[in-house]
């Protein structure tokens, strides 16, 4: 049977976005393949090493979330990464053959750094009373620059700021801060401010928390997670594709140096969840707009009532446009076709109120969550027994991992004990 491996970092309780992005996919895969799903607690340490007080709790929460959703320890092997020390050994051996440049050029590493730097720049300017305008500008950055007079303003379009920083960041020579300064001053920001912000970026602590060996080597550990089980498929989101590519490169390099050992795994791209958060932006813990799988009935109803609707619709008998309404996006996932079409029609005619429409939705989300909640009660009541299942999974994973490691040590000509 084909082998599937995937992991999730324990960063807190799961929400509907995780369900429709990842879990749903895993549920299907576990029916067809020999699956291993693990909690990537070492990976969580790569950027959260300073806040470990919640780690155990987060792992326990993840165990409960997975099992409540129907991830099934009798079908899949479920385990915790740090329980299989062999991942660390293989990661160490891989680190010997992985050129540093592969990691430094790794797009997710760069993107994370970009985000940290950009956020800092934006927050710094906002803190100095520069107004960051969120609405899209009427013209492109280049057009704006052509006309720019350099006359001082204390506002800037967010889009220009981001675009300028993006260009400064992603160029061949490393970050081109001089060009960035020039552009921002030309767009009217005060020279002193811009210089201070850039100096802080160049010399300060921004991004330092991920300037660690562990963070840089994140994909090497991930390659070990995957290759140690000789996986055929790795279900991941789009953001993880570079890591899978790197995994394949490491496998090829290893095979070439020490003989054919690892098959090259293929990514199974998990479709992006179409579910936005209740405010219409991407669902994320940090935006505070998520509906959690562990939310109770009332909580779900409260959140749905807060959801963004068609902003043009003010009174109940105004005709609405379901296409631009977050509530309707949810209906398209949770509501049966017929009923959904009816709601769309009533909305367009202005003969259903948004509150009523939301109540219908809350009802359906609650219906969807019902079996998950029931299972959760069972799991929570006997958490010890379910943790034991993870312990068994860890043992099972370890016995396979250690077989691969014997082969690896032999292939590399290491000392045999
Ligand atoms: N990097 C993955 C993520 O953040 C988690 C992960 C760690 C993983 N090891 C893995 C995913 C191995 C697939 C296979 O989503
Ligand atoms: Fe959205 Fe429903 Fe209101 Fe129409 S009636 S705008 S679909 S919440």
Long-range Cβ pairs for the range 81-84 (8 Å, 24+): 81/7, 81/38, 81/39, 81/40, 81/41, 81/42, 81/43, 81/225, 82/41, 82/42, 83/391, 83/394, 83/397, 83/398, 84/38, 84/228, 84/394, 84/397, 84/398, 84/401
307 lines ligand 2 (CB under 6 A): no
Query: Is residue 313 lining ligand 2, measured as CB closer than 6 Å?
Result: yes
CA nearest ligand 1 atom 8, residue: 7
pLDDT of residue 272: 79
For the chain, give every domain's residue range. Answer: 3-98+217-274+383-412, 107-210, 295-381
Q: Which atom of ligand 2 is least distant from the CA of 331?
A: 7
Atom in ligand 2 nearest the alpha carbon of residue 353: 5
Q: Considering every ligand atom, which ligand is closest to the CA of 329?
A: 2
SS3 148: coil
**Would the CB of 322 count as within 6 Å of ligand 2?**
yes
CA distance 27 to 146: 54
Which ligand is nearest the CA of 37, by number? 1
CATH of 295-381, one of 1.10.240.10, 3.30.930.10, 3.40.1180.10, 1.10.565.10: 1.10.240.10
Instruction: Decide whether any atom of ligand 2 lies within 6 Å of the 61 Cβ.
Output: no
Does domain 3-98+217-274+383-412 bear CATH number 3.40.50.620? yes
Does ligand 1 have an atom closer than 6 angstroms to the CB of 64? no
The CB of 278 under 6 Å from ligand 2? The reply is no
User: Ligand 1, closest atom to CA 43?
Assistant: 7
Given this model, what pLDDT does residue 311 score?
86
Relative to the CA of 313, which ligand 2 atom is closest?
6
- In angstroms, what is the span from residue 8 Cα to ligand 1's centroid? 6
| Residue 270 near ligand 1, beta carbon < 6 Å | no
Asked if 55 and 10 count as a contact pair (C-beta separation under 8 A), the reply is yes
Distance 24 CA to ligand 2 centre (A): 27
Kindly report the protein residue whose alpha carbon is nearest to atom 5 of ligand 2: 354
Q: In testing the pocket of ligand 1, which one of 29, 66, 225, 270 has its CB within 8 Å of the most ligand atoms?
A: 225
Bridge partners of residue 122, in order along the sequence: none
Per-residue pLDDT of the chain (417 residues; tens, 9 = 90+): 999 999 999 999 999 999 999 999 999 999 999 999 999 999 999 888 888 999 999 999 999 999 999 999 999 999 999 999 999 999 999 999 999 999 988 887 788 888 889 989 999 999 999 999 988 889 999 999 999 988 999 999 999 999 999 999 998 778 899 999 999 999 999 999 999 999 999 888 887 877 889 999 999 999 999 999 999 999 998 889 999 999 999 999 999 999 999 999 999 998 877 899 998 888 988 788 999 999 999 999 999 999 999 988 888 889 999 999 999 999 999 999 999 999 999 999 999 999 999 999 999 999 999 999 999 999 999 999 999 999 999 999 999 999 999 999 999 999 988
CA distance 120 to 113: 11
Select from 339, 357, 361 the residue to mutate for testing ligand 2; criterion: most ligand atoms less than 8 Å from CB. 357
Q: Among the bound ligands, name the one nearest to the CA of residue 320.
A: 2
User: Is 309 close to ligand 2, i.e. is its CB under 6 Å away?
Assistant: yes
Q: Is the CB of 40 under 6 A from ligand 1?
A: yes
pLDDT value at residue 391: 96
Ligand 1: atom nearest CA of 243 is 1
Q: Which of 77, 243, 284 to mutate to test the pocket of ligand 1 (most atoms within 8 A of CB)?
A: 243
pLDDT of residue 50: 86
Q: Phi, psi at residue 343, to the nearest 5°?
A: -60, -45
Residue 297 near residue 304 (C-beta atoms within 8 A): no
Asked if 3-98+217-274+383-412 and 295-381 have one fold, the answer is: no
pTM, full prediction: 0.86
Query: Does the Cβ of 226 fall within 6 Å of ligand 1?
Result: yes
144 Cβ contact partners less than 8 Å away, ≥ 6 residues apart = 137, 157, 160, 187
Which pLDDT does position 203 carry in this prediction? 86
Cα distance between the two ends of the chain: 32
Q: Given the structure tokens 């400064």, which residue do they identify?
A: 168
Q: How much is the pLDDT for 347?
A: 95
User: According to the model, what pLDDT value does residue 136 have?
Assistant: 81
């Amino acid at each position: 049977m084909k082998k599937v491996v995937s992991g999730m970092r324990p960063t807190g309780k799961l929400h509907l976005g995780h369900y429709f992005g990842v879990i749903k996919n895993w549920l299907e895969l576990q029916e067809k393949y020999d699956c291993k799903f693990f909690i990537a607690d070492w990976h969580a340490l790569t950027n959260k090493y300073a806040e470990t007080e919640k780690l155990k709790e987060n792992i326990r929460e993840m165990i409960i979330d997975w099992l409540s959703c129907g991830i099934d320890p009798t079908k899949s092997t479920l385990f915790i990464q740090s329980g299989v020390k062999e991942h660390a050994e293989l990661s160490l051996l891989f680190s010997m053959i992985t050129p540093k440049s592969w990691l430094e050029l790794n797009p997710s590493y760069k993107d994370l750094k970009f985000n940290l730097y950009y956020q800092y720049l934006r927050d710094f300017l906002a803190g100095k009373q520069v107004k960051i305008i969120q609405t899209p500008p009427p013209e492109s950055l280049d057009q704006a620059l052509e006309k720019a007079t350099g006359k001082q303003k204390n506002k800037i379009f967010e889009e220009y700021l981001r675009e300028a920083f993006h260009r400064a960041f992603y160029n061949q020579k490393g970050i081109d801060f001089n060009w960035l300064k020039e552009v921002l001053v030309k767009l009217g920001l005060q020279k002193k401010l811009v210089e201070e912000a850039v100096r802080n970026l160049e010399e300060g602590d921004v991004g330092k928390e991920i300037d660690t060996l562990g963070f840089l080597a994140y994909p090497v550990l991930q390659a070990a997670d995957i290759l140690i089980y000789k996986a055929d498929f790795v279900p991941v989101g789009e953001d993880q594709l570079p890591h899978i590519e790197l995994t394949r490169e490491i496998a090829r390099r290893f095979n070439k140096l020490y003989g054919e050992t690892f098959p090259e795994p293929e990514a199974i791209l998990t479709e992006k969840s179409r579910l936005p958060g209740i405010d219409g932006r991407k669902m994320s813990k940090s935006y505070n707009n998520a509906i959690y799988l562990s939310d109770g009935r009332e909580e779900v109803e409260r959140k749905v009532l807060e959801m963004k609707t068609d902003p043009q619709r003010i009174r109940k008998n105004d005709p609405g446009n379901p296409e631009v309404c977050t509530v309707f996006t949810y209906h398209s996932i949770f509501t049966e076709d017929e009923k959904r079409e009816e709601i769309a029609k009533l909305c367009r005619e202005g003969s259903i109120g948004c509150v009523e429409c939301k109540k219908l939705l809350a009802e359906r989300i609650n219906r969807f969550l019902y079996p998950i909640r029931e299972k959760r009660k069972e799991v929570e009541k006997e958490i010890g027994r379910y943790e034991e299942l993870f312990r068994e999974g860890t043992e099972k994973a370890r016995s396979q991992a250690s077989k691969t490691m014997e082969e690896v040590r032999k292939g590399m000509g290491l000392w045999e004990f």
